[in-house]
Structure 1
Amino acid sequence: MSQADRNLPNSPAPPSARLVLLVSDSRAQRRMIAIQLDRAGYHVKEAGSADEAMGFFLREQPDIVISDWIMPGRSGLDLCRDLRAINTGQYSYFMLLTSKYSKDDIAQGFGAGADEFLIKPVSGAELLARLGVAERILKMEQQLRKSNAELQRVIGRLSDAQAAMDRDLKEARALQQRLIREKSEQYGDFQLSSLMRPAGHIGGDMVGFFPINDRRVGIFAADVSGHGITSALLTARLAAQLSDTTDQNIALRITDLGLFDALPPRELVKALNTQLLNELRIDAYFTMIYGELDCLSGRLRLVQAGHPHPFVQRADGRLEKIGNGGLPVGISDHAAFEQITIDLGPGDRIFIASDGITECECPGGQPLGDEGLCAILQTNATLRGNTFLESLSWSVQTYTSGNRIDDMSAVLIERLPAQPG
């Protein structure tokens, strides 16, 4: 030991009192280094061979291993390779004691997994300096391991939350489908049919109709923005407010004579707009068509609030796009909702579709559009009711190769052809 080493002050103990394993076939070398480590506050264990060191390593997992390179039997390089092959979940810093210091020796040592080299004879100052580097590396490794463990716990909690959310979404989707179901009804000379095909998630589409009185029917189609919980809840609320249940339906009212009546389409859409902006106050809106059909006269009054344009298909096959667009519900307090009137004769029909039909895309990215929808209407001009809607659904599925990303909904209003004689 040099005079400088003998005059080294005692170093404070490492905060974690690191366990160091000394491996050398030279007892004198082990003792000399052990004394310096002990003075620096490390816990020191000794092993006279690589095999003895391996057994100790498996039992106690030292923080630092200082091993002679050249030893009888298995070398320190062999020991380093073997220790690196063991996955204990904790990193051990490995230092090789050697008199070799060529570039090839260094490359060989690092290739085996060594972290540091100590050139013999080892000075106390250099040993403690190298151990200071090891201490910093081990602290960083422990902090990283702790952060990783916490990250795994967070990921586990997030996974559990995601699984619970997925279960809730599936139940919400099933409930939504029960609330907004496909149906077909006949009112006098009119056949009303609805199509509702979700795209695999809870969505914002809804379609339906309800009787107002013996001769009038309310008809609606809406598409709430987004596909999350908010849109699903708003859709469910709308479905309840436009349901067949007279005490919940906000369109229905009772006159002074005790008869059922309904708000005009323009007034109903205005009321929904006010409700969404001033009462619910949520960051959502919806497009909508609401109409009131007089089944005796064949007159349909409707409001288009940002929803895709309906198409009238006359008995002779001619197609007419109707409506002026308008703003969606929930955009502006000052939105003006225009009411239009359409007269339907025998054999005429109106088709109201969501943008999940007109904006669906083929694999090449081309949307179906109004032109494609008109082609479907013309091709299926002789089909009625649910038969037509099923054919439409099949055409859309074929066009998209089964890769729809949005809900598909529609209402078909048909006046039956006049009976001969």
Structure 2
Amino acid sequence: MKQPAPRPNAQKTALIVDDSRAQRMIFAKLLQHWGYQTQEARSGIDALEACTKRHFDLILSDWMMPEMDGLEFCRSFRALSEEKYSYFILLTSKNDKNAVAEGLDVGADDFLSKPVSPLELRARITAGERLLAMEREVRTARGQLLAAVEALDDGFVYFDADDRLVLANRKYGELYQIDPAILVKGARFEDLLRHNLTQGRYPDAIGREDDWLRHRLERYRNTGRSSQRLSDGRVLQIVERRTDDGGRVGLRVDVTELSLARENARNSEARALQQNRDLRAALDELQNLYDAIDRDLMEARKLQHSLIRKRQHDFDGSTLSLLLQSSGHVGGDMVGTFIISTARIGIYAIDVSGHGVAAAMLGARIAGLFSGGEHQQNIVLIRDPKTGKSKAYDPHDVAARINELMLDEFETETYLTIAYADIDLQTGKIRLVQAGHPHPVIQRADGRVEFIGDGGLPIGLIPNARFATIEAQLMPGDRLLLYSDGVTECINRNSEEFGEDGLRATLVKLAKVKGTDFVDALKWELMHWSGKDEFDDDVSGALLEFNHATYLTEPPSRYYRGVRIEE
């Protein structure tokens, strides 16, 4: 389930702006771990100077800074004529609506309240990366349009509603022999006409330049078709049309030879009209593309603001802590929990083969099968015909149902592994299925470590595959860990795997570390082992710390890989 590391020339860039060196170092470490090449600035002034020298995909800026605060820096940065878009996140302790509105008004894309949660920051950045990817699609489409315009045999020009130049191809400049230094974006149409008049480009204007200019501007504002003779004797057919936003698009077709005969002139007009229709069709198609991308950007923004992850769940004294670290932008690992009944919960850990968007979509789809508290929504639950209430399938039946769905209804050749546990929070009894997933591990209150489970087949490979439910027992102070193979198969520089021995040693080492502190510490242990800032495979885990067992009278049996060990 591993994939090659991204090419160095595809590395993303980020600018971190904060007057606190410690804060800059923290964010730099996180962003480097997530695949970013970072640069730091201690003030808005320094950051603005850096932005004039290079492009950054992501800008992470504090709000409150001396000399130039984050708000003013954002305003000044957006005023720069950047061809590529940068995603701008403001970090602030302000949380009132006026502050948020002010930040959005100057061009900020998102906000994060201090202190910043690394998981929330990663989620926001991931959503921002989707926005940047869509922006790159827009830029690519614009490049394709420019290439198409340059490929025209005729002169093409486009002015906006303020009569300022938006686009002109090389042929347009050649026809009028305009200095490239003059024919630049933003140049006024009237100024271009005056420049050509001073150069004697229009023979029919000599001696009556003011009248000629006035009539030419009237024709321009009215749009339509006209002809024009240049100083070198060539005759141009001018075709101009008004765009929906008040701009004007025009073609300059050289009809010198065709003007010698009436039939040739008609052919020239037809060709110019056809080219105009083709151009309008291309512009309409491009507008449709812009509209579609704009809708996607809006949906991505909505998704971004809905990403509020809860890493820790409390269940009357017992605590569940979650870890999810993708090797790339998105991954195929998913972990989560749901309520089965008053005293029972379900915990699942999913690992879809492969990485990227396809794996993430399938992982999310499978995780969605565990959502909701009703049998219509949750694949674990079934309606009891006697009571009319929901009850739970056995874990092995849950795995079989997902396997059937994967093979019969999901049109994919991808497979996945899963560990799903049904846990009674009053008695501490565990009923668990292991379908190709790494062996779950129990750490007893006295520090002993026990791997449980029977391995099992992956899901989505074999029709009618059979799965087994195994049982284990938790006592107060024990904890259960479900994890993906990104943990045990983590490779160091000597090509050695972290393995179950490494996990066992880490559990013993971190026996007194609890909750999210433990799963974060496990992640850092893996990074130290690998010697790299990012993982080759997705890493995920779910840690249940059990602190209640009202119905037990005997200590639990010990298990190794699902086999009971006699004391």
> TM-score range with shorter-chain normalisation?
0.5 to 0.7
Deviation per residue, 1:12-40 (Å, 9 max, x gap): xxxxxxxxxxxxxxxxxxxxxxxxxxxxx
Matched residues, percent identical? 43
The alpha-carbon distance between structure 1 residues 331 and 180, as it changes in their structure 2 partners (threshold 3 A), is: farther
Deviation per residue, 1:144-186 (Å, 9 max, x gap): xxxxxxxxxxxxxxxxx9xx99xx99x9899699779452112
Please tell me the root mean square deviation across aligned C-alpha atoms, in Å. Answer: 3.1
2:431 aligns with one of 301, 304, 321:
301
Task: Give the counterpart letter for 1:321 in structure 2.
Answer: F
1:201 Cα deviation from its structure 2 partner = 2.4
Counterpart check, 1:249 vs 2:249: no
Q: Distance in 2 between matches of 1:352 and 1:221?
A: 6
Q: What residue in structure 2 maps to residue 100 of structure 1?
A: none
SS of equivalent residue, structure 2 residue 497: coil
Task: Give the counterpart letter for 2:397 in structure 1.
Answer: E
1:400 Cα deviation from its structure 2 partner = 1.7
Q: What residue in structure 2 maps to residue 404 of structure 1?
A: 535
Q: What residue in structure 2 maps to residue 414 of structure 1?
A: 545
The alpha-carbon distance between structure 1 residues 417 and 388, as it changes in their structure 2 partners (threshold 3 A), is: farther
SS of equivalent residue, structure 2 residue 365: helix
Counterpart check, 1:345 vs 2:509: no
Report if aligned partners of 1:180, 1:239 keep a CA contact under 8 Å in 2: no
Q: What residue in structure 2 maps to residue 368 of structure 1?
A: 498
Task: Give the counterpart letter for 2:539 in structure 1.
Answer: M
Report if aligned partners of 1:173, 1:201 keep a CA contact under 8 Å in 2: no
Unaligned runs of 5+ in 2: 1-173, 175-288, 551-567
The alpha-carbon distance between structure 1 residues 297 and 176, as it changes in their structure 2 partners (threshold 3 A), is: farther
Task: Give the counterpart letter for 2:536 in structure 1.
Answer: I
Structural mapping, 1:22-33, within 5 Å = none
Q: Distance in 1 between matches of 2:413 and 2:402?
A: 15
Counterpart check, 1:277 vs 2:407: yes
Task: Give the counterpart letter for 1:229 in structure 2.
Answer: V
Q: Distance in 1 between matches of 2:312 and 2:367?
A: 17
The alpha-carbon distance between structure 1 residues 418 and 284, as it changes in their structure 2 partners (threshold 3 A), is: closer
The alpha-carbon distance between structure 1 residues 380 and 202, as it changes in their structure 2 partners (threshold 3 A), is: same
- TM-score, length-scaled by structure 1: 0.56
Q: What residue in structure 2 maps to residue 199 of structure 1?
A: 327
Q: What residue in structure 2 maps to residue 336 of structure 1?
A: 466
Q: Distance in 2 between matches of 1:214 and 1:194?
A: 21
1:342 Cα deviation from its structure 2 partner = 0.5
Deviation per residue, 1:399-420 (Å, 9 max, x gap): 222231111100111112789x
The alpha-carbon distance between structure 1 residues 182 and 309, as it changes in their structure 2 partners (threshold 3 A), is: farther
Q: What residue in structure 2 maps to residue 316 of structure 1?
A: 446
Report if aligned partners of 1:182, 1:196 keep a CA contact under 8 Å in 2: no
Report if aligned partners of 2:328, 2:356 keep a CA contact under 8 Å in 1: no
Task: Give the counterpart letter for 2:495 in structure 1.
Answer: G
SS of equivalent residue, structure 2 residue 409: helix
- TM-score, length-scaled by structure 2: 0.42
Larger Rg: 1
Q: Distance in 1 between matches of 2:536 and 2:486?
A: 8
Report if aligned partners of 1:193, 1:411 keep a CA contact under 8 Å in 2: yes
Q: What residue in structure 2 maps to residue 135 of structure 1?
A: none
Structural mapping, 1:255-266, within 5 Å = 255-256=384-385, 257-266=387-396
1:364 Cα deviation from its structure 2 partner = 2.6
Report if aligned partners of 2:328, 2:355 keep a CA contact under 8 Å in 1: no
Report if aligned partners of 1:180, 1:207 keep a CA contact under 8 Å in 2: no
Q: What residue in structure 1 maps to residue 256 of structure 2?
A: none
SS of equivalent residue, structure 1 residue 374: helix
Counterpart check, 1:212 vs 2:340: yes
SS of equivalent residue, structure 1 residue 280: coil
Task: Give the counterpart letter for 1:192 in structure 2.
Answer: L
The alpha-carbon distance between structure 1 residues 174 and 338, as it changes in their structure 2 partners (threshold 3 A), is: farther
Q: What residue in structure 1 maps to residue 486 of structure 2?
A: 356
Q: What residue in structure 2 maps to residue 222 of structure 1?
A: 350
Q: What residue in structure 1 maps to residue 521 of structure 2?
A: 391
Deviation per residue, 1:110-140 (Å, 9 max, x gap): xxxxxxxxxxxxxxxxxxxxxxxxxxxxxxx
Report if aligned partners of 1:285, 1:328 keep a CA contact under 8 Å in 2: yes
Aligned residues: 256
Report if aligned partners of 2:427, 2:549 keep a CA contact under 8 Å in 1: no
Counterpart check, 1:187 vs 2:315: yes
Q: What residue in structure 2 maps to residue 7 of structure 1?
A: none
Deviation per residue, 1:317-337 (Å, 9 max, x gap): 111111111110111113211
Report if aligned partners of 2:380, 2:393 keep a CA contact under 8 Å in 1: yes
Q: Distance in 2 between matches of 1:224 and 1:179?
A: 21
The alpha-carbon distance between structure 1 residues 381 and 267, as it changes in their structure 2 partners (threshold 3 A), is: same
Q: Distance in 2 between matches of 1:232 and 1:180?
A: 17
Q: What residue in structure 2 maps to residue 101 of structure 1?
A: none
1:376 Cα deviation from its structure 2 partner = 0.8
SS of equivalent residue, structure 1 residue 331: coil
The alpha-carbon distance between structure 1 residues 233 and 180, as it changes in their structure 2 partners (threshold 3 A), is: farther
Q: What residue in structure 2 maps to residue 71 of structure 1?
A: none
SS of equivalent residue, structure 1 residue 342: strand
1:254 Cα deviation from its structure 2 partner = 3.4
Q: Distance in 2 between matches of 1:317 and 1:404?
A: 28
1:263 Cα deviation from its structure 2 partner = 1.5
1:190 Cα deviation from its structure 2 partner = 2.1
Report if aligned partners of 2:404, 2:464 keep a CA contact under 8 Å in 1: no
SS of equivalent residue, structure 1 residue 239: helix
Deviation per residue, 1:301-352 (Å, 9 max, x gap): 0000000011111111111111111110111113211110011011111111
SS of equivalent residue, structure 2 residue 487: helix
Q: Distance in 1 between matches of 2:318 and 2:546?
A: 4
Task: Give the counterpart letter for 2:420 in structure 1.
Answer: Y
1:236 aligns with one of 364, 376, 396:
364
